[in-house]
Amino acid sequence: MTTFTDVLTARLRRDPGGPLITFYDEGTGERVELSATTYANWVAKTASLLVEEHDLERGDAIRVDLPAHWLTPVFLGAAWTVGMRVTDGDDPADLAAVACGPDSLARWARHADDVVVLACALRPLGVRFAEPVPPGVHDVGVEVWGQPDAFTPWDPPQGDDVAHDLAGAAPTQAELWSAAAAGELVPDGGRLLTEANPASPPGIASFCEPLARGGSLVLVVRADAERLEAIAASEQVTARYRA
């Protein structure tokens, strides 16, 4: 399996209904659980948004400037489905698109004439911002719902496409998934608890390894130590990752 699509397709065949991502935000009380099927649906809609609505292409660079959230691995998967390169670069001249949250919206809105700015409200159920977003910015909570539930790229990504260049590394998709399958963060079929951002250099493995190894991710934010232990017990986690 050399591409994200290969890995996700294999997971859908093996365990479509089992949990893949479970997200807790202890600041809002939100709990979201995505099965492999539900995750794949979100990825397809988001990939279609990138390509069909905004003309993004294989090889383009996208900055996933989102906090630890269930939408973060959705954007990673959508980018890799298209064959885009995920980057942590800050120079708008080097970017085709950026996915941002409320905290970085004002910063990226200044570049909306030159970069596709996709803003996520990060509200429960993936809904739109309560107030209109700045001119030129696209509200993902408005645009994504009308996208189809399946997506087939006209220029499919290949194993030698660069998956990301976070922190100076530049693994291809084949290298990324080979490393994930051989990783040691989580046993096969296990549940990995972490507070790490999946779009960060240390956190990307916390999503890739569970997906590649038939496991699942329990992503928690804004929890104190006692609550974290309670979540670990209730979710029956088998491994933890502290970035």
Whether pLDDT at 88 is above 90:
yes
What pLDDT is attached to residue 174?
Answer: 98
What pLDDT is attached to residue 1?
Answer: 76
What pLDDT is attached to residue 93?
Answer: 96
Give the per-residue SS3 of the chain. Answer: CCCHHHHHHHHHHHCCCCEEEEEEECCCCEEEEEEHHHHHHHHHHHHHHHHHHCCCCCCCEEEEECCCCCHHHHHHHHHHHHCCEEECCCCHHHCCEEEECHHHHHHHHCCCCCCEEEECCCCHHHCCCCCCCCCCCEEHHHHHHHCCCCCCCCCCCCCCCECECHHHCCCEHHHHHHHHHCCCCCCCCCEEEECCCCCCCCCHHHHHHHHHCCCEEEEEECCCHHHHHHHHHHCCCCEEECC
pLDDT band per the 50, 70, 90 thresholds, residue 92? very high
Domains and CATH numbers, the chain: 4-241 (3.40.50.12780)
**What is the β-pairing status of strands 19-25 and 30-35?**
antiparallel
What pLDDT is attached to residue 68?
Answer: 98
pLDDT band per the 50, 70, 90 thresholds, residue 243? confident
Burial 99-137 (b: 16+ CB within 10 A, else e): bbbeebbeebbebbeebbbbbbbbeeebebbeeebeeeb
pTM score: 0.98
pLDDT in tens, 16-25: 999 999 999 9
Whether pLDDT at 240 is above 90:
yes
What pLDDT is attached to residue 223?
Answer: 98
pLDDT in tens, 191-210: 999 999 999 999 999 999 99
Chain-wide mean pLDDT for the chain? 97
